[in-house]
Structure 1
Amino acid sequence: MKILYYNHTGQVSGAERVLLMILSRLDRNRFEPVVACPTEGKLIGMVSELGIRTIGLEQLEARFTWRVGKLFRYLASFARVISNARSLIIDEQPEVIHANSIRAGLVMSAASFGLATPVIWHAHDILPRHPLSIAIRFFACASGRNSILAVSQAAAGRFRGNLIRWFSRRVPIRVIHNAVDLERFQPNSESRREIRHALGLTEENKVIGIVGHLTPAKGQLELIEAFAAISREIPDAALLVIGESLFNRGDDYLKSLRRAASLSAGTDRVRFLGARDDVPALMRGLDLLVVNSHTEAFALTVLEGLATGTAILATAVDGTLEMIRHGENGWLVPARDQQTLAEAMLLLLGDQNLREQLGGNGRRDAIAHFSIERFATEIHSFYRGLLESGTTPHESARQLEVKLSAD
C-alpha cells in the first residue's frame, strides 16, 4: 500500500524528527512510502538516506499573521503548492496521505478534493487563538476524508475547539504521544565526564542547559535574564544554550540573546553552542535541563531529558503536563515568570538528592510510557483503524496490514 507523506518545510525540527522515526520503522514489504517536501533544507536528504523515494515541492510560505499584505502573500503560496500537490497526488495515486502538520493537512485536503483519498493531519503544535484557527476547523470539517492525529491531549483539545466537538464522528481525533530513543538517550557517567571535560567544565560546576531551536516561544531570553540571579548566588554556574535559529527572524533573536547574556552574566558564563549532533552527551553533562517554553504541544526535549535521567525544570504548559508530574519526575513553574524560574533553579541546583530523585523517576517513566516500541504499536493501530474504516479508495482493509517494526 502506498502512503504519500507531505512535509511543508525542508527544515528539521521536532515534527520532522517524528516523521523520520515513523519512516525508519516502516515495513517496506507491506508499505510503499513516498515523501514530498521542499528541496531546501536537510529533510529531503535525511529521508533519502533511509532509502525512501522523495519528491520536491515548493516551500510553503504560511504563518499566522494579522498583516493583510502578508496574508495575501501566504494565500498565494498556498494556491501554488496546492496546484502542484494535486498533480502529484494524481500521478502517485496513494491510498493514504499523511500530512505532517496542520498546514500540510490544509494543503493536502485541498489538493485531493474530489479524489476520495483519506488525509491524516498530524497536529504537532498547539493551534493558536486566532480567527484563522476557526477557518482551519471549518475546513477540517468540510470533508469526511480527514482525520486528526495529535501528539497530545492538549494539542487535540485546542484543535477540537468548540466547533469540532460537535463533529467528532466526521473528524475523528486520535492522540499518540511522541517517543524517545531509549538507547541513544540514557544515563552514562563516563559520557558525562567526557563532555564536561570537552567543554572545559568540572564536576564542581553547576551546569544548566536549554535545548531547542532559537525562537521567542522557547523562552531562551527569559532564561538568560533569570540566570543573572543564579550567577550571583552560584559563582561556578554555567548556562548552555543549545540550538540554532531556523524560523521567523531567528538571527535577530540570537543577537538579542547574546546581548542579554553579556548584560546579565557575561559571555563566559552563558555559552551558545549552536546546533549539535551530540545532544545526548550534552544532556548527560547537565545538572538541570530547563524547558522554558511559552507553549508546547509535546516537546521531544522533555522526553529526551527524562530518558537521559537528567533533572528537568519545565513550564507548566500544554502537553508538558502529560509528561511531567511536579515533584515526582520533574519540576514545574508557571510560564513567563522569571522570579519563580530563578527560585526553582536555585532550589534544584542546591539539592543533588532531589535532582537524582527526579532524574531516576524520569528515566523509569520514559521506559514505561515513551518507548519507540509503544509508539510504533500505536501508529500501527491508527493506520490499521483508518484502513478498516473502509475509507481507503483502492483496496479493502482485509487485504492490507500496516506493519511498523519496533526494532
Structure 2
Amino acid sequence: MKALKVLHSESSRGWGGQEIRTLKEMLALRERGHIVEVVCPQDAGIGIRSAELGFKVHHARMRGVGDMRSLMSVQALLRRRSFDVLNTHSGHDSLVAGAAARLVGTPLVVRTRHLALPITSLATYNWIPHRVIAVSQYVRRYLISAGVPADRVETIYDGIVKPANIAQSTLRAELGLGSDAVICCMVAIMRDKKGHEDLVSAAQPLMAGRPNLHIVMAGNGELFDKIKGVVDGLGLGRRIHLLGFRTDVPNVLRGCDLFVLPTHQEALGQSYIEAMAAGLPVIGTDVDGVPELIKHDVNGLLVPPKNPDALRAAIVQLIDNPELRIRLGEAGRRITEAKFGIDDMADETIDFYWRGVRRGEHHA
C-alpha cells in the first residue's frame, strides 16, 4: 500500500489539547511511513513544534473567508505537493484551506472537531469537507443534531503514547515534599472553563485541618496571573503549587496521588487519559464527553461542574481511602491500555483516510 500524503491545516496560534492531539497524530502517521506536513500562521504553536520535530511546515495567515492571498497560497501548495488528504482543524483554516482543496480537487478533505462548543459555521462541516472526525461520541451527537449528516461523521478517540516507566518522580524533591504528602494534581491550560478556581475553592477549607495536603497545577495560559493572585491572596502559595508549562507531565503525574480536572466544558479530555495511564484515580465533571472516559466509582469519580462543595467531598473521599485510590487507579490504567493508545488512534485515522480517498477516486 502506497504512503498517504497528508496536509494538516491549523489557523489557531495557541497550544492546547487540539494542537497536541494533531501533532501526536502527525508523529504516529509519519512513523508508519506516511508523508505528513502542516500549514499554519508563522507564529502558530503547532508549526513551531512541528518544525522542531522535523516536519515540513508551510505558512499562511488564513484569516477567514475573505483571505484570498492565503487561499491562493494554499491552492498552489496543494497543487505542487499533490496531497491525498487535507485535514482542517479550526474555523478559519477550514474555510480557507478547505475551499482551496475543493478548488484544486484534493481527493479527501476532512474536518476534525475537537471542541464541545456550539459551531459557528455549518458550511465548514457540510459543504467544504467530505468527511468529519469527532473526538468523542458527545461531539458526534452534537454535530448530527446541528445538521451534519450522520454518515459524514465518525468518532476517533484521542490516543496517548504509553508513558515510560519512571522509576522515581522528581516532583516531590522539586517541591520539598516527603512521602507523607498527599498531592492532588491538575494538568490544564489556564483559561476560562477549566475550573482552576473551583479547585482552589474546594481545597481551601481542607488545608488547615490537613497539613499534608498539597495541590499541584501544571499549565500556563491567559489566567495564570489571575489564579496566582487568588492563591497568593489566600496565603496558600506553599500548599497550592503553580508549576507553569511542563514538558514532563508523566513525571509530574507519577509524583501525585490523585488527579482532578473540574472542567465546565470538555469534548473528551486528554489530561484524564494521561492521568489514568499513569495509574491515578481521577475526579472529573459530568459534562460533555467526560463520561465517555470516566465511569463513576469504576475508574474515577464524577461530580457536577461549578460545584466546589461536591468537588471537595470527592477529594476527601479519595484522600481518606487509599484502597479506593488504588482500585480506581488500576481500573483507569486498564481502560487506557485497552482503548486509548496512540496505535488505536493512528490505525483508525489511516483507515478513515483510505476509505475517503478511495471513495473519492471511485466517484472521480
Same fold (TM over 0.5): yes
How many angstroms does 1:55 deviate by? 0.7
- Find out whether 1:216 has 2:192 as its counterpart: yes
Counterpart-to-counterpart distance in 2, 1:255 and 1:261: 10
**1:371-386 equivalences in 2 (<5 Å):** 371-386=341-356
Match of 2:150 in 1: 168
Is residue 225–residue 260 contact of structure 1 (8 Å, CA) maintained in 2? no
SS at match of 1:267: coil
Is residue 227–residue 264 contact of structure 1 (8 Å, CA) maintained in 2? no
Match of 2:113 in 1: 123
Kindly, what percent of the aligned residue pairs are identical?
25
Query: For structure 2, which runs of at least 5 residues remain unmatched after alignment?
Result: none
Query: For structure 1, which runs of at least 5 residues remain unmatched after alignment?
Result: 61-73, 395-407
SS at match of 1:377: helix
- Could you say if the C-alpha distance between residues 265 and 31 of structure 1 is closer, same or farther in structure 2, counting changes exceeding 3 Å? same
Match of 1:70 in 2: none
Match of 1:24 in 2: 27
Counterpart-to-counterpart distance in 2, 1:348 and 1:243: 23
SS at match of 2:314: helix
- Could you say if the C-alpha distance between residues 269 and 369 of structure 1 is closer, same or farther in structure 2, counting changes exceeding 3 Å? same
TM-score by length of 2: 0.90
How many angstroms does 1:109 deviate by? 2.3
TM-score by length of 1: 0.81
Match of 1:96 in 2: 85
- Find out whether 1:275 has 2:255 as its counterpart: no
How many angstroms does 1:80 deviate by? 5.5
Which of 147, 166, 191 aligns to 2:168? It is 191
**1:3-402 equivalences in 2 (<5 Å):** 3-27=6-30, 31-58=34-61, 60=63, 81-117=70-106, 118-128=108-118, 133=119, 136-143=121-128, 145-164=129-148, 167-169=149-151, 172-184=152-164, 188=166, 190-192=167-169, 194-245=170-221, 250=222, 253-264=223-234, 266-391=236-361
Counterpart-to-counterpart distance in 2, 1:82 and 1:341: 47
SS at match of 1:46: helix
Counterpart-to-counterpart distance in 2, 1:282 and 1:8: 30
Is residue 119–residue 147 contact of structure 1 (8 Å, CA) maintained in 2? yes
How many angstroms does 1:140 deviate by? 2.6
How many angstroms does 1:81 deviate by? 4.0
Is residue 126–residue 159 contact of structure 1 (8 Å, CA) maintained in 2? no
SS at match of 2:8: strand
Counterpart-to-counterpart distance in 2, 1:392 and 1:122: 23
Counterpart-to-counterpart distance in 1, 2:235 and 2:313: 16
Encode CA deviations 1:69-111: one digit per residue, 9 max, x unaligned.
xxxxx766x5654454334334434222111335432332233
SS at match of 2:283: strand
Count of residue pairs the alignment pairs up: 360
Counterpart-to-counterpart distance in 2, 1:86 and 1:127: 29
